Amino acid sequence: MFLSVFDIFKIGVGPSSSHTMGPMVAAGRFLDALREQPFRAHGLRASLHGSLAFTGKGHATDRATILGLAGFLPETMDAEAAEAVLEKNRETKILSPRDLGDLAFDPMRDLIFDYDHALPGHANGMVLMATDAQGDVIFREVYYSIGGGFVLTEGELAARGDDTRSDASPKVPFPFASAAEMLEMAERSGKSIAQMKRENERVFRSDAEISAGIRRIWQVMRDCMDRGLATGGILPGGLSIRRRAAGIHEALKAEAGMNLTAPHVINDWMSIYAMAVNEENAAGGQVVTAPTNGAAGVVPAVIRYWLDHVPGASERQLDEFLLTAAAIGGLIKHNASISGAECGCQAEVGSASAMAAAGICAAMGGTVTQVENAAEIALEHHLGMTCDPVKGLVQVPCIERNGLGAIKAVSAASLALRGDGQHFVPLDAAIETMRQTGRDMSDKYKETSLGGLAVNVPNC
């Protein structure tokens, strides 16, 4: 099994990897498929199903779908150009993707939120269609946004049969598909998790490309965090949620060096680092999936805590941190899920916390067994966490939840480093438990905003 560090950590836009980035990627794939057809289309149509319908407006799925059908992609999207295209489409009811000419698309008519018919493959389903001059469908494809910006067509999902795990290429020197295999390969080879992960990455990229890509990931993470720490105001969406990271950051800086500062204030630093990222994500800014947008703040917050507050930490160890974190994220995605619509927030913030715990444990000199223990502790103590965003927005409880996920990650790593790596619950057992819990969880608590906080607090 192999999932690249650059698949786990993808540069994109907020507020959601599965509900914003995924539909945009799906629309891009649909345009590519349409370009290969022998006929000329005259119009486009899209229908959203399951969680994409129920929380689509709060997650900007409508905007993402339109922009994707216009030819935008998450990693390269220019915000000003995107707004111009949306405004032009509202006026003209036309989209003009590259090499396909002008295509009729009226968002009020051609973008359908279908709340009544879930698609069978995944909770995040969408159908994209091309129409002829009479408005009849002449080409269609079903896409599933399976979390973290990953997208599969109906055919690709069916090709995996009963094995719903990752279908990533196994042709690497260390194709561990479970934590047990990872530990066994590490013991046999004498390599760390990050070293094995780098060996796998080398099949596809040079060392220079790997290191440059990791630096780019961290730069985008840090820039996002810095913007969040400097920006106040009200988040969009109608809940009137105030950005808090910048104000708390100023207060913490003012308190720095005071002899009477309580030790637990370090938790506030970790929280604001994470909240800054997720406030940016909620505002539609550029973020890195880690492994999703909804959980994008946990890993960068733990990195920032480590670099700025832990003696001896150095950016030279970033490769160790992020490669280790990506290995754990790959195991979770392969054997369970990183999708809130599929398994609840345990699959998003829980996965992110496990990744961050493993990363900081490795960067602080933890053994392979200690790293596996750190990931297990963090994931175990997110089991059962629901995904219940108020008004379908990635704001409440998502923003604060990332802060607590970062704190749990550091605590988990610290506990693991205090031990010898031997522990009772294996990481594989925690991952399988998360998968089973997500399978059994009511759909009300899996990113539909039909239960939990979403129905027990005011929506406006």
Averaged confidence pLDDT in the chain: 96
pLDDT tens digits for 14-57? 999 999 999 999 999 999 999 999 999 999 999 999 999 999 99
Q: How far is CA 94 from CA 100, 224, 276, 359, 458, in A?
A: 12, 33, 36, 47, 37
Residues 354 and 325 in one domain: yes
The model's confidence at residue 150, banded by pLDDT at 50, 70 and 90, is very high
As given in the structure block, the two tokens for residue 32 are 């590519």
Domain membership of residue 402 (yes or no) is yes
* Predicted confidence (pLDDT) at residue 168 exceeds the cutoff of 50: no
Residue 1 placed within a domain: no
Same domain, 202 and 348: yes
Answer whether residue 287 is part of any domain: yes
Amino acid at 367: T
Residue 183 lies inside a defined structural domain of this protein = yes
203 and 149 fall within a common domain: no
Instruction: Please give the average per-residue pLDDT across 211-232, as a whole number.
Output: 97
Length of the chain equals 460
Residue 161's pLDDT is: 63
Distance of alpha carbon 385 from alpha carbon 351, whole angstroms: 11
93-121 tens-digit pLDDT: 999 999 999 999 999 999 999 999 999 99
Residue 86: burial class (beta carbons within 10 Å; 0-12, 13-18, 19+)? middle
Q: How far apart are alpha carbons 297 and 322 in whole angstroms?
A: 14
Within-domain flag for 365? yes
Res 167: pLDDT: 47
Which of 124, 159, 194 is the last residue before a domain boundary? 159
The mean pLDDT of 285-314, rounded to a whole number, is 97
Q: Are residues 329 and 190 in the same domain?
A: yes
Retrieve residue 52's tokens. Answer: 């994409």
Residue 450's CATH number: 1.10.4100
220 and 329 both lie in a single domain: yes
User: Measured at the alpha carbon of residue 306, what is the angle toward residues 321 and 14, in degrees to the nearest 5?
Assistant: 70
Domain residues for 348?
179-456
**Is-cis flag, bond preceding 397, omega within 30?**
yes
- d(CA 218, CA 214) in angstroms, rounded, equals 6
Please tell me what DSSP assigns to residue 18. Answer: I
Cβ 289 vs Cβ 148: under 8 Å: yes
What gap in Å lies between CA 410 and CA 306, rounded to an integer? 9
Kindly tell me if the per-residue pLDDT of 273 is higher than 90. yes
Q: 66 and 191, same structural domain?
A: no
Tell me the β-bridge partners of 114. Answer: 49
Say yes or no: 265 and 148 in one domain: no
Note whether residue 169 is domain-resident.
no
What is the DSSP-derived secondary structure letter of residue 234?
B
Total domain count, the chain? 2
- 124 and 251 fall within a common domain: no
Measured between its terminal Cα atoms, the distance across the chain in Å is 45
Does residue 207 share a domain with residue 334?
yes
Q: How far is CA 399 from CA 167, 298, 402, in A?
A: 31, 10, 6
420 shares its domain with 338: yes
pLDDT digits (tens, 9 = 90+) for 178-189: 999 999 999 999
Examine the domain organization and report whether 385 and 301 are in the same domain.
yes
Q: 278-302 burial, b if ≥16 CB within 10 A, otherwise e?
A: bbbbbbbbbbbbbbbbbbbbbbbbb
Is 147 in the same domain as 195? no
In the chain, the amino acid numbered 94 is I
User: Which of 159, 192, 208 is the C-terminal boundary of a domain?
Assistant: 159
Residues 6+ apart with CB under 8 A from 283: 14, 15, 231, 235, 236
- State the CATH number of the domain containing residue 56: 3.30.1330.90
Query: Is 5 within the bounds of a domain?
Result: no
Share of the chain above pLDDT 90, in %: 95
Asked if the structure places residue 2 within a domain, the reply is: no
